[in-house]
Amino acid sequence: MTSPPRTIGLRARRGLAATLAVALITLAGCSSSSLADDQRTDGTIRIGLIWPKTGPYQALGVDMERGWQLYLDSHGGTLGGHTVTTATGDEGVNQNTALTAAKKLLDADRATVLVGTASADPTVAIAPIANQRKVPFIGTGGRPGSLTPADLGYVWHTSWQSRETGAAIADHIRTTVNGPVYLMAPDYQGGWDQLGGFTDAFTKAGGKVANPDGKPAWTPWGSTSVNFLPYLNKIKDSGAKAVYCFYAGTMAVDFVKQYKQSGLTIPLYGAGFLTEGAFLLKSEGAAADGVQTVMNYVPDLDNPDNRTFSTAYQQKYQTPPSIYSVTAWDAALLLDQAIAAAGANPTSESINTAIGKLGAIASPRGSFRLGTVGHSPVQAWYLRKVAFDGRTRANVTQQTLTTLGS
């Protein structure tokens, strides 16, 4: 007599259990980017770092890793009062490798914040997934011009917008060089943005481009070694009075050396990445002497934050810092302030909200603030020249050019 009700009850209980199990799994999946569960245990925050471990920008990744780690070491391994653990992915040489790294850091390592990349190009691939997952991405390399303000909800940069570099020096070159300027860069997003920013500002003010078709000479991208001589030989018959270029990493070393080998004697100007960092200057040697570049950081800047940072960096690594060291240091500094402001139990979303409310950030490059439109620094840009600073070959400050940012 009682068997049927007992059977129905058992089935009901099994169905309820299955429904609850599905609900729990769904909830767990939805909270994958949240710190809530971690905060209930040990309060540790997981940061996913994306540095170039291979390819032509590998040396830049070393500088970034050093700047980031120096900040953590000098702050007891904590950001905003929370212990930090990190996992690292390889940026590689294109969007696909960087995106693969980002997905692994989010899915396998459960990163609550992503930090990194030396190149601007990977941001194009990382921005959509950062916005979809509602996980802040703090870029430490250039921010590509192809992204609009609508693409930047969870995307911030402690570096620069890629078109700003050339724009910052364009008028100085126009008024200093008596004649047309020849333009060169690698054929990828970073090169297009860097030369685009220069060309637009330069020609709008009346400057003349020496390239026969009025467009930059695009060279191969992605290789660790490039033969630039066929491109450089074309400059001799162009009537150019100077050259402006964008190259970084091992490509910069090849370019500067081959520029000297080509016999060109007209002034060489470049985005600061051309001679940035001790590794490049040592590798380029005397070929870099006299090269003038534009950058938002110079190691000899005389401000309290740079004196503290530069001294600590050189003591730890026995080499001067570079802008890549600074942007990674500032990413940690930014997160330190944002996490502290995000409450007792920070989540990806509350950290992102806090970033948008930060005021002035006391960086080694000089104080800057994040623009409300471009989500990148409003900052000063400096003219530099490679010369001996009394101890070694260095980028020496010549003057402040302008302030840019949005």
Instruction: Give kind and range of the element (H or E) at residue 398.
Output: strand 393-404
The pLDDT score that the predictor gives to residue 222 is: 77
The pLDDT score that the predictor gives to residue 223 is: 74
- CATH number, position 204: 3.40.50.2300
Residues 189 and 287 in one domain: yes
CA–CA gap between residue 381 and residue 385 (Å, rounded): 14
Residues 365 and 251 in one domain: no
CA–CA gap between residue 13 and residue 95 (Å, rounded): 49
Residues 289 and 336 in one domain: no
Pairing of strands 377-388, 369-370: antiparallel
Q: What residue type is assigned to position 341 of the chain?
A: A
The pLDDT score that the predictor gives to residue 85 is: 96
Mean pLDDT by 10 residues, the chain (406 residues): 36 39 36 39 84 92 97 96 96 94 98 96 95 98 93 97 97 97 95 96 97 94 86 96 96 97 97 95 97 96 96 95 97 98 95 97 97 96 94 94 95
Residues 265 and 310 in one domain: no
392 DSSP assignment: S
Residues 251 and 185 in one domain: yes
Residues 253 and 397 in one domain: yes
In the Cβ-directed half-sphere of 263, how many Cα atoms lie within 13 Å? 5
Residues 255 and 347 in one domain: no
CA distances from 56 to 80, 184, 322 (A): 34, 17, 17
CA–CA gap between residue 387 and residue 123 (Å, rounded): 34
Residues 85 and 130 in one domain: yes
Structural domain harbouring 21: 3-30
Residues 196 and 272 in one domain: yes
CA–CA gap between residue 167 and residue 44 (Å, rounded): 42
Residues 75 and 46 in one domain: yes
Residues 258 and 313 in one domain: no
Spatial contact of 186 and 247, defined as CB atoms under 8 Å apart: yes
Q: What residue type is assigned to position 344 of the chain?
A: A
Question: Could you give the number of structural domains in the chain?
Answer: 3
CA–CA gap between residue 329 and residue 321 (Å, rounded): 10
Which tokens is 142 given? 């250039």
Residues 25 and 89 in one domain: no
Which tokens is 116 given? 């990194």
